Structure 1
Amino acid sequence: MAIDIDTDTDTDTDTDTADPARRSAVTLRVLHETSYAYDAPVELAHHLGHLRPRDTPLQRVCEWQLSVAPQPDVADAEAEADADAFDPRVMVTQGVHQSVDPWGNHRASFSHSRVHDRLVVMSSFVVEIAPRPVLQPERSPPWEAVAERLRYRPGAGFDEAVEFTLGSAYAPREASLARFAALVFRPGTPLIAGALAMMHLIFRHFAYKPLATSVNTRAPEALAQRQGVCQDFAHVMIGAMRSIGLAARYVSGYLLTRPPPGQPRLIGADASHAWVSVWCPVHGWVALDPTNAVPAGTDHVTLAWGRDYADVAPLRGVIRGGGRAEPRVAVTVEPLAQASDPA
């Protein structure tokens, strides 16, 4: 299929048209409820979730609560003594164990050894998000120079970005993805300019169709179909950049969606979201949303990041019994307040 290439990197978003120092941070509340009504009793279950948001230089977590019903098994007191058990911002159901994964994300695990036929997991939190710096794509070095810098060399000093140049289950390094990247990463193209062009390319030529793919669809299949959901858009962009030697990681989170003028915000109408973070030696990690063709801004709530979806799935588990049961997920993201402009 022929594709018209537009290398215009003007993102036309609020993050690029105003002085960040004069714009306000925003405060958002997120409610994420996952429920299962099992066809048959569950005899034993183990679950792992990435539901607690990260603190980042631009995002501050004000509070986070996690409730699980029925109550999970309660381990002994020593096992329950998590490192941040006394963090005043955190409140979790007894029996939930907290830990940190290799990428610094918070994760929660819990088990049920008693028979149950329903599970409800509710994550609720408040975050304050500051505006991101204005992007200057022309200041980034040529992508080839960055790819050369990121090549793995035995005995060389460790760079955290190198890990994200390697292929993963959902976003492998493959020839088809490299050819797709070559449509915008032409010789001498500044890295961020190329990444922005790829973001727009995916947005224009991929159809958003929730039932076209599954949670197990890989980037090469999504590229061939040119349709899918935010997870697929992110995997295609990540896999394409990795396939030419660049570093990109998968970011899970939420997006504040705004109802049409005059329409009320519907409770539970929002959804979890995913986007891409690209590494540049000048700009650091740059978050780009190919589903909406915008750099991530104050409407994007960061939950976790990793190599691909498999590293940061919101909730997954292994159960004995239960029959067939699809999860019901309801997400609400709403603004609470806006901080005053700095003096």
Structure 2
Amino acid sequence: MSFVRYHIRHDTRYEYDQPVGESRQMLRLTPRELPWQHCLSHRLAVDPQPTRSNDFVDDFGNKVRTLHLQRDHDALVIRAESWVEVTPREWPELNKGLNWERVRSTLAYQAGKRFPPELLEANRFLFESRHVRVKREFAEYAHDCFPEGEAMLVGVERLMNRIFDEFTFDPEATTVSTPVTEVFEKRRGVCQDFAHFMLSCLRSIGLAGRYMSGYLLTRPPAGKPRLIGADATHAWVAVYCPESGWIDFDPTNNVKPDMEHITLGWGRDFADVSPLRGVLLGGGSHDPEIKVTVVPEGEFDEVYAEVEDAPAWLPGLSPEPEDD
């Protein structure tokens, strides 16, 4: 079976205007174990060292690390490094599945109806959440993509196509707190906005959709080297199909995720699966500096050849670089 291995380095740095006396942080930076994705190794470095840390699995199955810092600090640096192996996914034929009305009926609550575990899990993703709204205008937008009797996955793909065609990627148009209704009005935003909007459309017509958080391999311009820290976290959606389980769609890039998407985790929206979230005492104003680098195994030596803090090569993954 063919596969691709990636090294991911996710750096977060906070510089505080005033000393922080105490800080609690919650990290979701460990790639998920999936049928098509295996996390070969994962390590975390934190400066200053936390007083305590703890690991647990949240309600959605995501691995979480908590940090508790109890001494004064004016900066916080967190580096997560992972090696991940990705294999091709098996995709169902989009036009051979249940029509969307049948799926909606299967998911809908009925008194006395017994739901198997997989349907109970999917039901968690039918309703409004902090960043996803269920509204008539979203249903009307989606219905143009779901004519009567349409196979559900064909309609989902058509909705993804429409969002890609009608919305403009614009990092300056929104912030993390911009309401999805405003995104719809402006038709501009980033991957997080497009995922929230697509989920709003799907849930507004009674389909179950979850927010996917992870990374996407980006390609540098022709003739230019891959730059360290030039990547970012990425967001897309997954839709529940009773016959096939959860199927991913990426409205930002108009693709069905496969070998170049690395999954960190999922939730109802961004608030459930933010890679890093915390509370602190003191600090004044501060904004994080985030740098992400996704490197295919074959480019590892070239990218990190002259970097002083280059990551260690994972033993056993392939031969370590020889010394000059």
Scaled by the length of structure 2, the TM-score of the pair is 0.89
CA distance, structure 1, for counterparts of residue 176 and residue 27 of structure 2:
16
1:283 CA displacement:
2.3
1:309 counterpart residue number: 270
1:125 counterpart residue number: 82
1:138 counterpart residue number: 95
- Report % sequence identity: 44
1:337 CA displacement:
4.5
CA distance, structure 1, for counterparts of residue 65 and residue 177 of structure 2:
22
1:148 counterpart residue number: 105
2:158 counterpart residue number: 197
2:229 counterpart residue number: 268
2:304 counterpart residue number: none
1:220 CA displacement:
2.0
1:107 CA displacement:
0.7
Task: Give the alignment partner of residue 36 of structure 1, picking from 1, 7, 14.
Answer: 14
Aligned amino acid, residue 110 of structure 2: R
- Aligned residue pairs total 296
Q: Is the 8 A contact 1:35 1:119 kept in 2?
A: yes
CA distance, structure 1, for counterparts of residue 17 and residue 140 of structure 2:
46
1:161 counterpart residue number: 122
CA distance, structure 2, for counterparts of residue 272 and residue 316 of structure 1:
14
Q: Is the 8 A contact 1:26 1:337 kept in 2?
A: no
| Structure 2 CA distance for partners of 1:118 and 1:287, relative to 1, 3 Å | same
2:24 counterpart residue number: 46
User: 2:76 is paired with a residue of what secondary structure?
Assistant: strand
Unaligned runs of 5+ in 1: 1-20, 75-95
Aligned amino acid, residue 179 of structure 1: E
Dislocated runs of 4+, deviation >6 Å = none
Task: Give the alignment partner of residue 68 of structure 1, picking from 25, 43, 46.
Answer: 46
What are the Cα deviations for residues 153-190 of structure 1, in whole angstroms up to 9, with x where unaligned?
A: 34422421111111111112111111111110111111
Aligned amino acid, residue 97 of structure 1: N
Unaligned runs of 5+ in 2: 300-316, 318-324
Bigger mean CA deviation after superposition, 306-315 or 154-163: 154-163
Scaled by the length of structure 1, the TM-score of the pair is 0.84
User: 1:295 is paired with a residue of what secondary structure?
Assistant: coil
1:83 counterpart residue number: none
Q: Is the 8 A contact 1:211 1:228 kept in 2?
A: yes
1:91 counterpart residue number: none
2:249 counterpart residue number: 288
CA distance, structure 1, for counterparts of residue 255 and residue 92 of structure 2:
12
Task: Give the alignment partner of residue 187 of structure 1, picking from 136, 148, 152.
Answer: 148
Aligned amino acid, residue 232 of structure 2: A
CA RMSD of superposed structures (Å): 1.4
What are the Cα deviations for residues 94-121 of structure 1, in whole angstroms up to 9, with x where unaligned?
A: xx21100001000111111101000001
2:4 counterpart residue number: 26
CA distance, structure 1, for counterparts of residue 174 and residue 183 of structure 2:
8
1:112 counterpart residue number: 69
1:284 CA displacement:
1.5
1:222 CA displacement:
1.2
Aligned amino acid, residue 185 of structure 2: A
User: 2:236 is paired with a residue of what secondary structure?
Assistant: strand
1:219 CA displacement:
2.2
User: 2:249 is paired with a residue of what secondary structure?
Assistant: strand
Say whether residues 1:215 and 2:215 are aligned partners: no
User: 1:164 is paired with a residue of what secondary structure?
Assistant: coil
CA distance, structure 2, for counterparts of residue 257 and residue 64 of structure 1:
21
1:49 CA displacement:
1.4
1:152 CA displacement:
1.9
1:101 counterpart residue number: 58
